[in-house]
Structure 1
Amino acid sequence: MLILDATMLNTIWTGIWETIYMVFFSMLVTYIFGLPLGVILFVTDKGSLYPNRVINLILGFLVNVFRSIPFLILLVLLLPFTRLVVGTTLGSTATIVPLVVSAIPFVARMVESSLKEVDEGVIEAALSMGSNWWQLITKVLLPEAKPSLSVGAVITSVTVLGYSAMAGFVGGGGLGTIAINYGYYRYDNNIMLITVAVIVIIVQLIQVVGMKLVEKIDKR
């Protein structure tokens, strides 16, 4: 039977909120940058609405480069940048920086893929009615792709949560740091099991709640 004292329970509770904080704000900032980037990749692609080979190749190359770097390596590479942005490389706030940098390319490709699923007939109908580029994107493309975009957001949230746990190796805060400091370095298997179980529960909650929301959004 796993028995924890009040101090350890408080530590785990704090770790849960730090993890939620990291995931929430990382997702918020990621979509502020990743959504427009995905739209640009889509509209500038060959045969798309406003094809621009130069812009598409440059942005596509940068996205592919950052997507190919494993998170732990990217985390270490970004330590100077993280210190420049938030003044420290430790804690949950500092971890948001590499989480955002790693997630933006992932979201951009998911957004691009979601927009490619939109029926071309709907796009042609909007263009024939005189829609400008802003109306086409905000009134047609994004609303039509909303179910797919929502599924992508659920997948991204789970991915970011996993990355936040990895950040525990460099003092990133949250449940990952608790698992490393108490479970790994102090050889406390109980703490390790508890933190893993809590992370699994959070993942399941994100998955279940997220997919329920997707079902409500999807009117097809």
Structure 2
Amino acid sequence: MFKLLLIEDDSSLFNEIKDRLSQWSYDVHGISDFSKVFQEFTEIKPDLVIIDIQLPKYDGFHWCRMIRSHSNIPIIFLSSRDHPSDMVMSMQLGADDFMQKPFHFDVLIAKIQATLRRVYNYNTEKIALKTWCGATVDYEKNTVSNETGLIELTKNEIFILKLLIEQKNKIVSREDIINDLWDDKRFISDNTLTVNVNRLRKRLDEIDLGRFIETKVGQGYIALEVEYQ
């Protein structure tokens, strides 16, 4: 049974979501003190976090930053505001997905199931390490390291990188990435993928690898391979 932390201050909505998720055999926990969200997160140790943007004390972005500074656990944002910037900010902070309120519960379930499958199943492959452009990519630890340094990626970032370098020097279409990453492209916007790839490239820039992920306008993305001595 997966343990979910639902950070939602609307008690009626919280109870409705909790009841529906419990019917799918998820163990759902809430927050008792919204000034101590991170403390309760560390105590609960969930497998996935669902967090509203508008919260008392501090907003969801604040708590996402706190969580991301210590964990790569998957995070799904909820928002009642109709601001495209909310989704962009969520993805830039390392969220795995985003939902606009009001939402259809079946869509929320689909997003949760796809995220849990992606995060907790794909690492079971026999090959955990991959060499790319002189760097070592560790699929289990979600890290990329070379002589310049080491970076830790989010689940989405490492998954996208894996898709690209497993087909190095070949264009991987945006549609294929979306289908593999979110299972059903109806549940994700094209802009979300753009934000995720841009964030991945920015992280790779820290160890001088961002330039090897290229955008092919109208086609998709390609991970270039170069030989290192």
Superposition TM-score, scaled by structure 1 size = 0.28
Pick the structure with more helix per residue: 1
- Between structure 1 and structure 2, the one with the greater Rg is 1
Q: Which one has more relative contact order, counting CA pairs under 8 Å at least 6 apart?
A: 1
Superposition TM-score, scaled by structure 2 size = 0.27
Pick the structure with more strand per residue: 2
